[in-house]
C-alpha cells in the first residue's frame, strides 16, 4: 500500500477527487493516511473528516517564526510515514529539508501547461488571468515532482483544455479543474502506486 499524505489550503476539490478515486477503485493500492492544512478554516479538512481521514492543521500563526512552523510541518509529515506527499492546492512554500528528504516523493498539481504560466506569483486565478491575457487557445494542468525550484520539477503528466473567446478567469479555472486537474491527479497517484513512474536525469518515464 502506498501511504499518501495530502497537503491542502482551501476548498479541497482535488483532495475530493483523490478520495473518490480511492473509494471507486480508480486509484489502487493507496492508503490516504493524513490530510495536512495550513489553514484551520480550509473546507478540505471537512472533506477529510467526512471520508474518515485524519486531518491536522499546522498554521504558521501558531508559531513564533517561520523556522518553528517549518519544523512543525516537517514533523507532521514525517509522523505519518508517507511514501508520497501530494500538494493539492497547498499555498505554502515547502521547506527545503522536506524536499531533499522526500526527493521524487512529493508531487504538485499546477493549473497550466508548465512551463507556461508557472513560477513565482502564478497561483489560483492569477494563472488563468495570465493565460487569457496572453490569448492562448489551449491551457491545462500539470502534475510534477517537487524540486527546490518553483514549478520546475520533473513533469509526470499534463492534460490540455481548450480556451474559448468569451472565457473569464473563473470560467477557465472551473474548466481546467473539471477537465484536467480532477482527472490528472488521481491518475498520477495510481501510476505511482503501481510503481509505473520512474525519474531519470530529471525526466519522468511511465512504464507499462
Ligand atoms: C487548484 O487549482 C490547484 O491546481 C491549485 O490550487 C487549486 C486548489 O483547489 N494549485 P482545491 O483546493 O483542490 O479545490
Asked whether the beta carbons of 44 and 12 are under 8 A apart, the reply is yes
Active-site residue, 110 included: yes
Atom of ligand 1 nearest to the CA of 110: 4
Mutate to test the pocket of ligand 1, among 93, 181, 188 (most ligand atoms within 8 A of CB): 181
Q: Average pLDDT, stretch 55-73? A: 97
Does the structure show a pLDDT above 90 at 192? yes
Taking the C-alpha atoms of residue 196 and residue 205, their distance in angstroms, rounded to an integer, is 8
* Distances 174 to 44, 47, 49, 74, 84 between C-alpha atoms, Å: 17, 19, 25, 32, 27
CB atoms within 10 A of CB 67: 10
pLDDT score, position 130 = 98
Q: Average pLDDT, stretch 119-135? A: 96
pLDDT score, position 4 = 98
Atom of ligand 1 nearest to the CA of 87: 10
pLDDT tens per residue across span 85-108? 999 999 999 999 999 999 999 999
* Distances 9 to 27, 124, 192 between C-alpha atoms, Å: 23, 11, 23
> Percentage of residues in the chain with pLDDT exceeding 90?
100
H helices of the chain, in order, are 13-24, 43-50, 66-79, 96-101, 125-134, 169-176, 182-193
CB atoms within 10 A of CB 98: 17
Does the structure show a pLDDT above 90 at 184? yes
pLDDT score, position 120 = 93
For residue 69, give the C-alpha cell.
512552523
pLDDT score, position 208 = 86
Residue recorded with cell 477529510:
48
Q: Average pLDDT, stretch 58-67? A: 97
What is the reported pTM? 0.97
Q: Which of 5, 10, 44, 110 is catalytic?
A: 110
Rounded to a whole number of angstroms, the CA Rg of the chain reads 16
pLDDT score, position 164 = 98
pLDDT score, position 50 = 98
Q: Average pLDDT, stretch 51-60? A: 98
pLDDT tens per residue across span 162-179? 999 999 999 999 999 999
For residue 27, give the C-alpha cell.
486509484
| CA proximity to 98, closest of 150, 146, 153 | 146
pLDDT score, position 18 = 98
pLDDT tens per residue across span 19-46? 999 999 999 999 999 999 999 999 999 9
Taking the C-alpha atoms of residue 186 and residue 69, their distance in angstroms, rounded to an integer, is 29
- Give the residue whose CA is nearest to atom 14 of ligand 1: 13
Atom of ligand 1 nearest to the CA of 14: 13
Average pLDDT, the chain: 97
- Give the residue whose CA is nearest to atom 12 of ligand 1: 12
pLDDT score, position 179 = 98
33 lines ligand 1 (CB under 6 A): no
Amino acid at each position: 500500500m502506498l501511504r499518501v499524505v495530502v497537503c491542502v489550503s482551501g476548498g479541497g476539490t482535488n483532495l475530493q477527487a483523490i478520495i473518490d478515486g480511492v473509494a471507486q477503485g480508480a486509484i489502487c493500492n493507496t492508503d490516504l493516511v493524513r490530510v495536512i492544512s495550513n489553514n484551520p478554516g480550509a473546507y478540505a479538512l471537512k472533506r477529510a473528516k467526512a471520508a474518515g481521514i485524519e486531518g491536522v492543521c499546522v498554521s504558521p500563526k501558531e508559531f513564533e517564526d517561520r523556522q518553528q512552523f517549518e519544523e512543525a510541518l516537517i514533523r507532521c509529515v514525517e509522523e505519518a510515514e508517507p511514501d508520497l506527499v501530494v500538494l493539492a492546492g497547498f499555498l505554502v512554500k515547502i521547506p527545503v529539508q522536506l524536499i531533499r528528504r522526500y526527493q521524487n516523493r512529493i508531487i504538485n498539481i499546477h493549473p497550466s501547461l508548465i512551463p507556461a504560466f508557472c513560477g513565482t506569483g502564478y497561483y489560483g486565478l492569477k494563472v488563468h488571468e495570465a493565460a487569457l491575457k496572453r490569448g492562448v487557445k489551449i491551457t491545462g494542468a500539470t502534475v510534477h515532482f517537487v524540486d527546490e525550484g518553483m514549478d520546475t520539477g520533473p513533469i509526470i503528466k499534463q492534460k490540455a483544455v481548450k480556451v474559448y473567446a468569451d472565457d473569464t478567469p473563473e470560467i477557465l479555472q472551473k474548466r481546467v479543474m473539471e477537465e484536467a486537474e480532477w482527472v490528472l491527479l488521481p491518475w498520477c497517484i495510481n501510476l505511482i502506486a503501481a510503481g509505473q513512474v520512474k525519474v531519470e536525469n530529471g525526466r519522468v518515464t511511465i512504464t507499462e
